Structure 1
Amino acid sequence: MRAQQAATTLVAVGVTGWAARRVLTRRAARNSPAAEQSHWRFVTVNVAPEQVRPFPQPLRELDAEIVVRPAPGGRGTEIGVRLNEGEPTGAKAAAQRFAGTDPRQAVRKALRDAKQLLETGEILSPDRPGTNTKTLTGKPLELAIAHAKGEGKQ
């Protein structure tokens, strides 16, 4: 019985130490100058680099730095965008994301729309559900469609 209690205590101390290190590491990362910078987000388009300029309207609306470079292996062009202001973190970021006002969502949407404009000449939109009747169970689907272009891996 005592061995089991000792093992449980060791596990609890180990998990507590791990959690404390994780919190301190994240806090230090948030307070560092690098935390104020935005991440680059890229999209590959199937056009030559010369065809990307002037930038499509969705990219011109952003307050961001934009780079254009040939994609590896001669497979089109990469367009990269990084916000000029820092990205939100913590509770502020969660609230903005939920409200649909997160600047990262605007970058993702602009990149997707620019890709569609460059490759097809128009911005495509998903089909709406087949019914016009608003239902409680259809609300999650409506929200998912409304926020789909602003979401992504990063």
Structure 2
Amino acid sequence: MKRAIVVVMVTAGAVAGVVRRLRSRSASHGAESGRWLVATVNRPPGEFDRGGVPDPLARLGDHVEIRTAEAPGGKGTELAARLREANGTGTLARLTGRDPRQQVRQALREAKSLAETGEVMRPDAPPTTRPTVGGRLMGLATRRAGGEGRL
């Protein structure tokens, strides 16, 4: 009986912690959506001033604010972007893949790839030649990385 009570109390504490974390995230997501997302591009700083913004970022139009700066140590250019409005951001939008910040992340990755190599680099498809469990997991991870920018 004592063991059951301890398990219930530990579970309740864990649930309360998760709820508190989700509430704090949703309360601060407005500030997070205004956060600058930055990619360091291995190109001279003045190149973006002359040539304009790379096409993937230009397609986002007036929905994003874009700035460039010299990277620390003179190692290229920092290309930064952030949403002008925080409509549709939050935990649910992020989990369903409809968070507009994911579009900004993807546009930054594509702009970096385009500026450095002249083309948008994509992972090889399919990741394996056989439909194995590992191949399915790799495909899932690759698709998720496309929206979030990390595995």
Q: Give 1:129 shift.
A: 3.4
Quick one: percent identity of the two aligned structures? 39
Question: Larger deviation: 22-31 or 49-58?
Answer: 22-31
Normalising by structure 1, we get a TM-score of 0.68
Distance 1:46 1:27, change over 3 A: same
- Cα distance between partner residues in 1 of 2:140 and 2:14: 37
Of 42, 48, 53, the match for 1:46 = 42
CA RMSD of aligned residues (A): 3.5
Cα distance change, pair 12–113 in 1 and its aligned pair in 2 (3 A): same
Classify 1:130/1:149 alpha carbon distance in 2 versus 1 (closer, same or farther; 3 Å): closer
1:124 is displaced (CA, Å) by 2.6
Unaligned runs of 5+ in 2: none
Q: 1:55 aligns with which of 53, 62, 75?
A: 53
Tell me the distance in 2 between the aligned counterparts of 1:94 and 1:130: 24
User: Displacement, 1:48?
Assistant: 1.4
Contact map agreement 2:29 2:89 (CA 8 A) in 1: no
TM-score, length of structure 2 as denominator length: 0.70
Deviations 1:124-143 (A, max 9, x none): 33333399x9x866994666
Which ranges in structure 1 are unaligned for 5 or more consecutive residues?
Answer: none
Q: Is the 8 A contact 1:66 1:79 kept in 2?
A: yes
Aligned mates of 2:110, 2:145 — CA distance in 1: 12
| Separation in 2, partners of 1:130, 1:80 | 31
Write out per-residue CA displacement over residues 41-99 of structure 1, whole angstroms, 9 at most, x where no aligned residue.
1111111111123101111112111121111111111111111221522333322x1xx
Which amino acid is the alignment partner of residue 67 of structure 1? R
